[in-house]
Structure 1
Amino acid sequence: MPLATPATISLEPALPVFFAHGLRTAPDTLLAQALAISVADLNQQYPDRASLVYGTMLADMERQKREHIALYTQYPTAVERLYGLLQLGLRDLTTIPGNFYADLQTNFPESWEAALHHLTTYSSPQLQQLLNDGIRNRLFRSDININLVTKILIEQLNMMLNPQVFPPERFNMGEVFRSIFLYYIRGICTDEGGRIAAEHFARL
């Protein structure tokens, strides 16, 4: 594979290396190999690990946004889009080692702040907008507390991945996802929204 020039580096491939080997301990050789550049070019453009981690986190946030645009093209209704976002979020969360965010918070505070900023300025507003759209289109009940429902949805994703709550050797995560989100979201749906939710899950 030809090496990329530093100006064209996409940092997304660095994230799996960080997941596998740790933010501080991932070898430069493996990171450079994943990015298809030389170690010298990597060190020249990112002279310290903090700047590389920060850039990688920002690249992953942009990747999420692109996937969400594609998802919105695939699914026309707020109900389907909400399920789709939750599935993408769950897929991403299952790839993240348990100590990743603790390491990020402790050793890379600028990257941690960027992650929190993304959650509060992008992820949460995105869910809130979907709920608003669903209410306007009479797919979600008009009496729901949008801020509270948004918080519950995010915490439910985190709960699913807590091995003390759902040990993976005892529970099928697909069934857990269905049991949590199918019934919860159907509970905030109108009759029409509930019909779309049931049809969507039937296709999964």
Structure 2
Amino acid sequence: MKDQILIKATDMFLTLGFKSVTMDDIAAEMGISKKTIYQHYSNKDSLVKEVTLHLFETISCGIDGICAVGKSPIEELFAIKNFVLEHLKNEAASPFYQLNKYYPKIYSTLKKKQFGKMSECVLDNLNRGVQDGLFREDINVEIIGRFYFAGMNSLKDEELFPKNQFNAIEIQEHYLEYHLRGICTEKGKEKLEQLLKTNK
């Protein structure tokens, strides 16, 4: 039952937002009593924390799987973008904007975990891109990696990118292209153009 609650809560939080969904909503959706939820999760904060950890682990495992395939660094970034958007229900902004606003401690913990993952994944991607001649040799990998991470986090800011004005998928696509055009060699740009055509 605990896993079922976690799965349903994850789905509802991502669809409607961490603040918007109440314990009553989850209980009603599952056809169980709120008391049943509290037998497994002492309060909403503990459920939100568990959901964010579950999401992080799921997405991290998926990213590891993509990285293990041995795609080119540019293809890898496109595959990761598609995978993450799919698991976040294509909602890059709203749920995490609410998480940051109403559960700042949980959001801060998640951000630290994400930064650790970025250090491992994005820096490796950048280094391989340079080695393969797809990314410029003169880029500072540490700085560009942090630029990329900072930019990805800014996309979740609903004040910068209001949901009623910007499409989450489109924002992610533009950001990835923006990132790659700044670091690609001519060889990399050719690869990027091919992928942009196939991803449309």
How many Å separate the matches in 2 of 1:49 and 1:173? 27
TM-score (normalised: structure 1):
0.73
- Alignment of structure 1 residues 23-42 onto 2, 5 Å: 23=19, 26-32=21-27, 38-42=33-37
How many Å separate the matches in 2 of 1:131 and 1:14? 35
How many Å separate the matches in 1 of 2:173 and 2:28? 39
When residues 160 and 135 of structure 1 are mapped into structure 2, their CA distance, relative to the original with a 3 A threshold, is same
Residue 171 of structure 1 deviates from its aligned partner by 6.3
Classify the secondary structure of the residue corresponding to 1:18: helix
Residue 97 of structure 1 deviates from its aligned partner by 5.8
Aligned to 1:189: 184
Kept in 1, the 8 Å contact 2:13–2:21? The answer is yes
Aligned to 1:94: 93
Given residue 60 of structure 2, which amino acid in structure 1 is its aligned partner?
K
How many Å separate the matches in 2 of 1:191 and 1:39? 58
Kept in 1, the 8 Å contact 2:126–2:135? The answer is yes
Aligned to 1:142: 137
Given residue 47 of structure 1, which amino acid in structure 2 is its aligned partner?
S
Residue 32 of structure 1 deviates from its aligned partner by 3.5
Given residue 102 of structure 2, which amino acid in structure 1 is its aligned partner?
D
Aligned to 2:38: 43
Which of 149, 152, 163 is the matching residue for 2:147?
A: 152
How many Å separate the matches in 1 of 2:107 and 2:194? 38
- Alignment of structure 1 residues 76-155 onto 2, 5 Å: 76-88=71-83, 91-96=90-95, 98-105=97-104, 109=105, 111-155=106-150
Q: Which has the higher contact order (CA 8 A, sep 6+)?
A: 2
1:118-142 per-residue CA deviation (whole Å, 9 max, x = no partner) reads 1221134311111112122222122
When residues 115 and 171 of structure 1 are mapped into structure 2, their CA distance, relative to the original with a 3 A threshold, is closer
Q: From the CA coordinates, give the structure whose radius of gyration is larger.
A: 1
Report the identity percentage.
20
Kept in 1, the 8 Å contact 2:130–2:136? The answer is yes
Kept in 2, the 8 Å contact 1:86–1:157? The answer is no
Unaligned runs of 5+ in 1: none
How many Å separate the matches in 2 of 1:33 and 1:75? 44
1:38-64 per-residue CA deviation (whole Å, 9 max, x = no partner) reads 533321111222221111111111221
Residue 157 of structure 1 deviates from its aligned partner by 3.3
Kept in 2, the 8 Å contact 1:12–1:60? The answer is no
Given residue 93 of structure 2, which amino acid in structure 1 is its aligned partner?
T
When residues 114 and 37 of structure 1 are mapped into structure 2, their CA distance, relative to the original with a 3 A threshold, is farther
When residues 190 and 22 of structure 1 are mapped into structure 2, their CA distance, relative to the original with a 3 A threshold, is closer
Given residue 127 of structure 1, which amino acid in structure 2 is its aligned partner?
V
